[in-house]
Amino acid sequence: MAGRGCDGVAIRDVTRLLGPGIPVYPGDAVPTFRSRALEGSLVTDLHLTTHSGTHLDAPSHYLSGGTTVDRIPLSHMVGRALVLDLRDAPDAIPASALSGRIRGHTRLLLRTRFSASASFSFDYPCLTPEAAALLAEAGITTVGIDSPSIEAFAGDGSVHRLLLDRGMVILEMLDLDGVPEGTYWLVALPLRLEGLDGSPARVILIDEGGRP
């Protein structure tokens, strides 16, 4: 969804609509909402996981004693970000698809074929360990992808641990469909959930006209 702010800048909402029909990672709860009238007002109970829909992985998601979502620096989640169009790359994204394209950037969002998908599939696009190592060495602080996970379904958690151990935050299940490659101002704000491993997030891109 795109729109314009009061000063005319283009704003792109790259958050998936969170509801019962959103693709769900196997084993995660399907989001459910239960509304009830309460003394003339409406209140809705939510049942979902910290990784439902468009969400942020905190280091504590995989690392014992890692930073929790309420303690992630705002500088990781707000600032200039590069959107890379990887729709033509293999689903197991190799380091070669990123090499030479991310220099000078600290926040990176990966657009794959999955942005247009409305259902879960086990062969979703993801980073290979070699690509994750390249990002870690490049000093990336925030990496996002439009698929259900940054790591392959059959992965052993090593991709997550490599990225999170460097203090990176990971955004997953973005909706980058129709977003051209280029630089944007990223705002990715999770709920400030005390001591937890992640949170659904509202993620927007402000278009500064930064095209390659």
Q: Each residue of 57-82: pLDDT tens digit?
A: 999 999 999 999 999 999 999 999 99
What are the tens digits of pLDDT across the range 161-199?
Answer: 999 999 999 999 999 999 999 999 999 999 999 999 999
| DSSP code at position 3 | E
Identify whether 29 is part of a domain: no
> By three-state DSSP, how is residue 134 classified?
helix
Identify whether 55 is part of a domain: yes
Identify whether 12 is part of a domain: yes
Catalytic residues: 61
- pTM for the full predicted model: 0.93
Identify whether 126 is part of a domain: yes
Q: Which two tokens stand for residue 110?
A: 């990966």
HSE of 75, CA atoms in CB hemisphere, 13 A: 4
Can you say whether the dihedral through the CA atoms of 17, 77, 3, 98 is positive or negative? Answer: negative
Whole-number pLDDT of residue 143: 98
Whole-number pLDDT of residue 210: 53
Quote the mean pLDDT of the chain.
94
Identify whether 120 is part of a domain: yes
Q: How confident is the model at residue 208 (pLDDT cuts 50, 70, 90)?
A: confident
Domain CATH for 125 = 3.50.30.50
Identify whether 141 is part of a domain: yes
Identify whether 24 is part of a domain: no
Identify whether 128 is part of a domain: yes
Whole-number pLDDT of residue 34: 95
- Name which residue leads in pLDDT, 175 or 39: 175
Question: Domain of 132?
Answer: 2-16+50-210
Residue environment code for 17-40, b if the CB has 16+ CB neighbours within 10 A, otherwise e: ebeeebbbeeeeeebeeeeeeeee
Pair 175, 203: CB distance under 8 Å: no
Quote the number of domains for the chain: 1
What are the tens digits of pLDDT across the range 85-126?
Answer: 999 999 999 999 999 999 999 999 999 999 989 999 999 999
Residue 26 has pLDDT above 50, yes or no: yes
Residue 212 has pLDDT above 50, yes or no: no
